[in-house]
Amino acid sequence: MKTIHVVCKREKKDALEIAGEILRRFGDRSNIVIEEEAAAQMRYGTTFEMEHVGEGADLIVVLGGDGTLLSVSRHGKGSEVPIIGVNLGSLGFLTETSTEEFATTLEKVLNGDFSISKRIMLDVRVNREGDRIFDITILNDAVITKDALARIIDIETYVNEEYLTTYKADGLIVSTPTGATGYSMAAGGPLIYPSLTNLIVTPICPHTLTNRPIILPESVVIRAVLKSRDEKVILTLDGQVGFPLEYADEVTVKKSSHVVHLVKSSSRGYFEILRTKLKWGER
């Protein structure tokens, strides 16, 4: 591992301290490059812009929570550089490595002793009157939701151009297995083992209670058409990027060709993470 990119959660003191520890422990073995905003706070001269994360790197170290890792996955799509997520947040489904074990894990990775969990991404596009006006590649989910004061919205939904239904609901979620533990789960969606490649469609508070979440194969193209007028509706991507929708806008979602490579925790498996984070078995 010749070059390591380090991304810190902004204004997170713990992240800067760990970045400094990485420099002290591993700086003589690898070229450590730190994202520019964190590097400025550390007064460190070897930097990169977030838009170029992963370019020329052999490893990316993310110091923060799942939100920081989601941002890295979007900016670094296509690089397929292994990512270690060190959890400085609360849940940490994606940032599996604890602060206590990060140094040991990084040592193993530098020695080539690690395994990868490959996670699919989604390509999301918005068409308006036949023109593409927005597109993005994401790791977790695409969510169509109404404004807090809006009424139930109508979302006409197709799978491979076959009509599925018109959801009358507060919104609609299209999720990857990685995103299954996020908004989709909160809306009643299923958990799916993260290395699978299915897509999940989950309505949010549907007016028709028989509208249930559905798991679809990786080959499908999902098209959701907004059929409500005079309502404030927004498309939210990974919970971080927003795009306002208008009547008759079409949101198309499909499996991307890009894949995120996450370094697995050496001490904990997926089911242990579920038990710990979701407090399964506790009373």
Q: Is residue 239 within 8 Å of residue 67, measured between CB atoms?
A: yes
**Which residues are CB-contacts of 11 (< 8 A; sequence separation ≥ 6)?**
none
**Which tens digit of pLDDT belongs to each residue from 192-224?**
999 999 999 999 999 998 999 999 999 999 999
- pLDDT the model gives residue 266: 66
Q: Mapping DSSP to helix (H, G, I), strand (E, B) and coil, where does residue 87 land?
A: strand
Strands 221-226 and 59-64: unpaired
**pLDDT above 90: percentage of residues in the chain:** 75
Smallest Cα–Cα separation from 172: which of 257, 236, 254?
236
Tokens of 219: 């080959």
**Which tens digit of pLDDT belongs to each residue from 28-66?**
989 999 999 999 999 999 999 999 999 999 999 999 988
Lowest mean pLDDT among 3-17, 56-70, 82-96, 133-147: 82-96
**Which tens digit of pLDDT belongs to each residue from 114-166?**
999 999 999 999 999 999 999 999 999 999 999 877 789 999 999 999 999 99
Q: Is residue 114 within 8 Å of residue 84, measured between CB atoms?
A: no
Q: In what order do the strands lie in the sheet with 233-237?
A: 214-216, 199-204, 171-175, 141-146, 233-237, 241-245
Smallest Cα–Cα separation from 201: which of 258, 134, 141, 150?
141
**Residues tagged active-site:** 66
What is the average pLDDT value for the chain, to the nearest integer?
A: 92
- Number of residues that this document lists for the chain: 283
> What gap in Å lies between CA 150 and CA 142, rounded to an integer?
19
Whether residue 283 is predicted with pLDDT greater than 70 in this model: the reply is yes
CA-based Rg of the chain, rounded to a whole angstrom? 20
Element (H, E) at 108: helix 102-110
- pLDDT the model gives residue 91: 62
Domains recognised in the chain with CATH numbers: 3-115+264-278 (3.40.50.10330), 121-258 (2.60.200.30)
| Residue of 92 and 229 predicted with greater confidence | 229
As a whole number, mean pLDDT of residues 238-261 equals 97
**Which residues are CB-contacts of 246 (< 8 A; sequence separation ≥ 6)?**
128, 226, 233
Instruction: Read off the pLDDT band of 189 (50, 70, 90).
Output: very high
